[in-house]
Structure 1
Amino acid sequence: MCGIIAFADKTMLNKKPVLNNMMDMIKHRGPNSSGEYINDTVALGFRRLSIIDLKGGSQPILNEDGSVAIIFNGEIYNYQSIREDLLAAGHIFKTHADTEVLLHGYEEYGIDGLLKKVRGMFAFLIWDDNKQQLVGARDFFGIKPMYYYHDGDTFIVGSEIKAFLKHPKFKKELNKEALKPYMTFQYSALDETFFKNVYRIPEGHYFTLKDGDLKIQQYWDMDFKENNLSLEETIDAIDKSIEDSVNAHRISEVEVGSLLSSGVDSSYITSVLRPEHTFSIGFDNKKYHEGDAAKELADRLGLENTSDIVTEKEALNNFPLIQYHLDEPDSNPSCVPLYFLTKLAHKDVTVILSGEGADELFAGYANYGYHSHSKAVRVFGEGLKKLPKGMKYSIAHTLKKMPNFHGRLHLYEASAPAEEFFIGEARVFNEDQSAAILKPDYQQSHSVQEIVTESYKKVRHYDDEVKKMQYLDIHQFMPKDILLKADKLAMANSMELRVPFLDKEVAALAEGIPTKYLLNAENSKYALREAANRHLPKEWADREKLGFPVPIKQWLEDEPFYKEVRNLFEQEWVSEFFDQDAILDILDKTFRQESDDRRKVWTIYTFLVWYKVFFIDEELPTFVPDADKAYA
């Protein structure tokens, strides 16, 4: 919906020009209007993308006596019922916006009580002049971003780090500890970002800042406890839950469309929403064009589908712009099509629904233990899961030492403790490989095991290894990669992206579903697929998961792009981070097709592109069209 930025600094007398410069950096998040609240202690800035209460929803919004002010990014889907309760309690509303519901809800219920009531995606900041405190909260799953910087008397908080760069007391410095974990995870994996002293407010947390003292507190978390529903009852409950969530997520005063790929997640959402507009993207390579399958589904559902082809030139020339909008390096290849997909959708709609979160809540990833297409292997693997823990783990350790055979990985992961093999959905370099190419100053960081252990500690009492893996991804891969790119790349194109699977009511159902209904010999995400099949053409929901296929291998084997990457790898400043001979060797062998290290090359390339944008280049990147492509 918008972008928010704020800072607390009692020593800065003229805050307005600083705040305006910071707001300009996130204008793409809210091109319709801006607003500000400034006093001796704080400055709050807001950029608006108008979705609800188009005439009256400008921010900041103040309470009746002007003592409490709020700026808010997101949507509260149950705001109307909460508003009725607040009106009955005597609160006076000046707008019909969900923002003001948060404001009066904070006054009536306090921050803890308010967060128990709301349903939605949000990052908001409240200045309470009576208590002389700044309060901020981030939604349950981390759909909406919130970063902070705290150094001495200066506290900065907001939607995007790039806005911090315009604060005169912000010290722009690379966090050297972020690089090594990134090489494994493909995204910024630590709580501290790639910018030194810039941290995320974690998902499901709120903070209070009073007299320079910052306190961060958790208010919500997933808690997997199996229910006693039958399979048919589970499928019924999923379908009702998704229908309810999609209906809540369609609330808007502007048109709502949906992103559509060949997979079950976006197809399910689209089939329930039935929007006027659906959008798909592909590449100038037939193997990598999801638009064909999406168009087929849209036709069978009677929906309009708009698709486009991303050319190699278009993708690579605008990769610096994509990394700029992400704030931190992210080598997830799907960043490229997602940017162009939201750019395409922006021509027709302002709000889009998407399918993020289904894999984490409903066990859709192959790495949860679904590596074989053999029904016999899958059935045997399900049997292993039922064995006593000691026997099961012993079998896993035996399988790990055995020579490889078909089904070995599937059976190993069906019997091993999650902590031994699962570090999250993404994995590029292992730690030894990273150490071999990184310079000594960049080898000092938290180990991969230390990073994931923080999540595993919280679920050490779980007997279900799949639930452990889901919990880890919900707190690692999903908020730091999947949701971050979804928000940033949609907002880069002034689009609000909503994710109906990541609704707290859907989550309340998902955390109770037995794993046997989700990941079994039949399929991954089994119960969800069965629910989706009630809305989709026969067997559509059982299609194999593709994600966003991106032709990185073809690009790196294309001589012009290979030379461009090689030129970057050869730059003198690159020797600060990497053994250049080593990374050039990885690149050259990939180009000559002697090895397939496309993900490793892409991960190194992504970091260098990002670093160049933020620490070397003097001008910010802008969109570069392909001269050979006709634009509508």
Structure 2
Amino acid sequence: MCGIAGIYTPGRDIEGSLCSQLAKALSHRGPDGQGLFSEHGIALIHTRLSIIDLENGQQPLYSSDHRQVLVANGEIYNHVELRQTLAERGGEFSTKSDCEVIVSLAGNTTDAGFANQLEGMFAFALFNRDKGELLLVRDRLGIKPLYYCEVSGGIAFASEIKALIGVLPERPRPNLEAVGRFLQINFASGENTAVQGIRRIPPGGFLKVSPDGCIESGLWWSLEEALQEQPAFEGDEVAALTKFDQLMKDVLQKHLRSDVPVGLFLSGGIDSSILATELSRCRFDEEFPKAWSLAFPGSSVHDESESAGAVAGACSLELECVKSEPIELFDHLVYAVWASDELMGDFASLPTLMLADRAAQSHKVVLSGEGGDEVFAGYGRYRMTPLQQWMARLRAPGSGGFRTKGRFNRPQSLCLIQSSQRSNLFEHWRTPFVNSWKRFASFDRLTRMQATDITTWLVDDLLVKADRMMMVKGVEGRVPFLDHRLVLFGLSLPVALKHRGRLGKYLLRKWLKTHLPEVTQGRKKGFSVPVVDWVRSLDPLRLEQALMRSPLLVDIVAHKELRSLLVALPKLDKKLVEPIAALLQLAIWHRLFIEGSGEKPPEKVDPLEWLLS
């Protein structure tokens, strides 16, 4: 796990200062070392977090003839099996790094199709010195990030947006369409990021740059095509439970491959309880695997420590409860926005950041349950009644009534936005969801909802949160539920094995009842962060001043209407507090990455004081 970056400008020299700048911007992703490959027109940068082959796994990695050069971020979980197969075919290896199999698999090709043999989470850059071609590849589900921008004579790429801010050909500017998407639904989905000129390589995507500067892009793997090739599961409940048990066992055993200890973020919910149960079935060098959970003692906020403790006790895990006062979390908001660098406003980033900070004191790798709800249908929105579906379709045609609600759709919140800016911000905010809904038109409604969430919400919100909040603390997060085999299995299940009535994740609940009968599973609860209470506690005048110091908010916010709402801030309706919280996050993001150059802010600071300073 690490950070990668690079510049490819065929025929042009690259300044060494640019390489240093890119490496510095990603140093938090790789605190254990840096590597550089540079020759005329190409530079590949790597910052390392040592997980496998601690002594010799430095990058860049080279093919045996040194014609292919690789920098990679992530983990190849089936590297043991691939290495054995490749060695039998005459492949040569100089390290025990899991990523070295990428170079061997690629051979002399620059076709991304070989990535189909990889199981894992990865984003990598492979340069073919003979052909002068650069290949960028991102994993199937987009677990690992990869961004790029065009520069004079070529492209630059990096694991995080903040690394590319300084190489843009002009001062960074906000992409208003992405800003509007964030304001409506809390994240900016699609190939264009909120910074103009910086784009995402999509999940399962590749980008190839030829020596003449020609850029080719496309998909080497598609969830839609993979689902079409996946036969619908036709077995009974017992067969489904057996299949899940076999898959999860294999997946977790591979996810535990590491030369450093592996821990677990444990909430006591279904997904992390399954991971805890599987951990208890594996053998470890240490006596008890370590787990971390959040505790909010004496607070009205949901405290997960009691349920996590019950699971940890049943699974023989060493549990550390990280205690905090909920309101104090918001002193880390500026730092969390910087760490995210994506315009993503999930306040659950704050407790995730806290857990990562504590885990980093002893561990470099933790398991986390992201993906379980999307893959096995856990969300309540998947169980809308026919009447609710019909009304939603009428309200917003084009995506089956799914993902139709935006925070600024209501008249009271929409009035906060200047009328002249509403079309620029909101006209196309639902486009990624409509496009995804259309992509999966051949599947049943529930599967379409799951697939739409996987290709939008999961990759551009939850996985951004997991990757950035952990990597900023030097912790690698592994997400077993997003092994592509588990994803295809979960989506292929019949509706009756996904949910029963108003209860989601039916198959996983049944599995847990068999393997962890002593722990009762309740309804789904996520990280509970008291955003409404915090915003209501802020001083209205200072909040207004902080918001209206932002050049972006001055351009898009109706100041008079904002002031009118803030007068009633201590008792403001929740549905109006949330848009104000989004504006506050937007102001922080804009100052960090548009007004500023992405420099690291203090880890703990009052957000209003910081904006007003």
8 Å CA contact 1:352–1:497 kept in 2: the answer is yes
How far off is 1:345 after superposition? Answer: 0.9
How far off is 1:593 after superposition? Answer: 4.1
Match of 1:599 in 2: 578
Match of 2:285 in 1: none
Match of 2:529 in 1: 550
- Letter of the 1:340 counterpart: M
The reply to whether residue 461 of structure 1 matches residue 439 of structure 2 is no
Distance 2:398 2:515 in 1: 34
- Of the candidates 268, 271, 279, which is equivalent to residue 262 of structure 1? 268
Deviations 1:169-201 (A, max 9, x none): 464222122111111120112321111011100
Distance 2:11 2:565 in 1: 51
How far off is 1:570 after superposition? Answer: 3.8
- Letter of the 1:448 counterpart: W
- Letter of the 1:115 counterpart: A
Residues 1:297 and 1:597: Cα distance change in structure 2 (over 3 Å): farther
How far off is 1:100 after superposition? Answer: 1.0
Query: SS of the counterpart of 2:294?
Result: strand
Deviations 1:61-84 (A, max 9, x none): 111222110000000011111111
Match of 1:336 in 2: 350
Match of 2:194 in 1: 194
- Letter of the 2:20 counterpart: N
- Letter of the 2:72 counterpart: F
Match of 2:543 in 1: 565
Which segment drifts farther, 245-254 or 599-608?
599-608
Query: SS of the counterpart of 1:448?
Result: coil
Residues 1:625 and 1:307: Cα distance change in structure 2 (over 3 Å): farther
Which segment drifts farther, 288-297 or 81-90?
288-297
Which segment drifts farther, 96-105 or 282-291?
282-291
- Of the candidates 322, 325, 344, which is equivalent to residue 311 of structure 1? 325
Match of 1:300 in 2: 314
Match of 2:39 in 1: 39
- Letter of the 2:238 counterpart: E
8 Å CA contact 1:569–1:580 kept in 2: the answer is no
Residues 1:145 and 1:431: Cα distance change in structure 2 (over 3 Å): farther
Match of 1:140 in 2: 140
Distance 1:514 1:204 in 2: 26
The reply to whether residue 231 of structure 1 matches residue 237 of structure 2 is yes
Match of 2:258 in 1: 252
Distance 2:511 2:334 in 1: 40
The reply to whether residue 348 of structure 1 matches residue 354 of structure 2 is no
Residues 1:108 and 1:231: Cα distance change in structure 2 (over 3 Å): farther
Distance 2:437 2:85 in 1: 40
Match of 1:98 in 2: 98
Distance 1:216 1:349 in 2: 37
Which TM-score applies when normalising by structure 2?
0.90
Deviations 1:576-604 (A, max 9, x none): 22112323444443422455533222211
Query: SS of the counterpart of 1:261?
Result: coil
The reply to whether residue 276 of structure 1 matches residue 289 of structure 2 is yes
The reply to whether residue 218 of structure 1 matches residue 219 of structure 2 is yes
8 Å CA contact 1:417–1:465 kept in 2: the answer is no
8 Å CA contact 2:12–2:153 kept in 1: the answer is no
8 Å CA contact 2:532–2:574 kept in 1: the answer is no
How far off is 1:297 after superposition? Answer: 2.3
Deviations 1:321-366 (A, max 9, x none): 1001111222212111111111111112110000000111111110
Distance 1:161 1:543 in 2: 39
Residues 1:501 and 1:40: Cα distance change in structure 2 (over 3 Å): same
Distance 1:264 1:129 in 2: 48
How far off is 1:59 after superposition? Answer: 0.2
Residues 1:62 and 1:465: Cα distance change in structure 2 (over 3 Å): same
- Of the candidates 401, 408, 414, which is equivalent to residue 429 of structure 1? 408
8 Å CA contact 1:76–1:121 kept in 2: the answer is yes
Distance 2:496 2:197 in 1: 43
How far off is 1:300 after superposition? Answer: 3.2
Which TM-score applies when normalising by structure 1?
0.87
Which segment drifts farther, 220-229 or 34-43?
220-229
- Letter of the 2:546 counterpart: L
Match of 1:157 in 2: 157
Distance 2:35 2:245 in 1: 41
Query: SS of the counterpart of 2:489?
Result: helix
How far off is 1:231 after superposition? Answer: 1.4
- Of the candidates 474, 486, 492, which is equivalent to residue 494 of structure 1? 474
- Letter of the 2:545 counterpart: N
Residues 1:432 and 1:178: Cα distance change in structure 2 (over 3 Å): farther
Distance 1:109 1:526 in 2: 44
Match of 2:375 in 1: 361
Deviations 1:45-64 (A, max 9, x none): 00000000101100001112
8 Å CA contact 1:423–1:448 kept in 2: the answer is no
8 Å CA contact 2:399–2:437 kept in 1: the answer is yes
- Letter of the 1:457 counterpart: K
- Letter of the 2:433 counterpart: V
- Letter of the 1:58 counterpart: Q
Structure 1, unmatched stretches of 5+, are 371-380, 385-394, 401-408, 627-632
Which segment drifts farther, 167-176 or 68-77?
167-176
- Letter of the 1:458 counterpart: R
8 Å CA contact 2:110–2:128 kept in 1: the answer is no
How far off is 1:299 after superposition? Answer: 2.5
Match of 2:568 in 1: 589
8 Å CA contact 2:142–2:204 kept in 1: the answer is yes
How far off is 1:152 after superposition? Answer: 4.5
Residues 1:594 and 1:110: Cα distance change in structure 2 (over 3 Å): closer
How far off is 1:141 after superposition? Answer: 0.5
8 Å CA contact 1:320–1:609 kept in 2: the answer is yes
Residues 1:596 and 1:429: Cα distance change in structure 2 (over 3 Å): closer
Which segment drifts farther, 173-182 or 579-588?
579-588
Match of 1:615 in 2: 594
How far off is 1:27 after superposition? Answer: 0.4
8 Å CA contact 1:124–1:136 kept in 2: the answer is yes
Which segment drifts farther, 128-137 or 223-232?
223-232
Match of 1:479 in 2: 459
8 Å CA contact 1:15–1:43 kept in 2: the answer is no
Match of 1:57 in 2: 57
Residues 1:520 and 1:545: Cα distance change in structure 2 (over 3 Å): same
Pairs aligned (count) = 587
8 Å CA contact 2:150–2:156 kept in 1: the answer is yes
Q: CA RMSD in A?
A: 2.6
8 Å CA contact 2:10–2:42 kept in 1: the answer is yes
The reply to whether residue 84 of structure 1 matches residue 113 of structure 2 is no
How far off is 1:455 after superposition? Answer: 0.9
Distance 2:12 2:544 in 1: 46
Distance 2:529 2:464 in 1: 19
8 Å CA contact 2:14–2:43 kept in 1: the answer is no
Distance 2:571 2:605 in 1: 29
Distance 2:193 2:482 in 1: 24
Query: SS of the counterpart of 2:20?
Result: helix
Residues 1:84 and 1:601: Cα distance change in structure 2 (over 3 Å): same
Q: Percent identity?
A: 26
How far off is 1:112 after superposition? Answer: 4.0
8 Å CA contact 1:342–1:490 kept in 2: the answer is yes
Structure 2, unmatched stretches of 5+, are 281-287, 607-613
Query: SS of the counterpart of 2:45?
Result: strand
8 Å CA contact 2:294–2:351 kept in 1: the answer is yes
Query: SS of the counterpart of 1:420?
Result: coil
Distance 2:32 2:451 in 1: 38
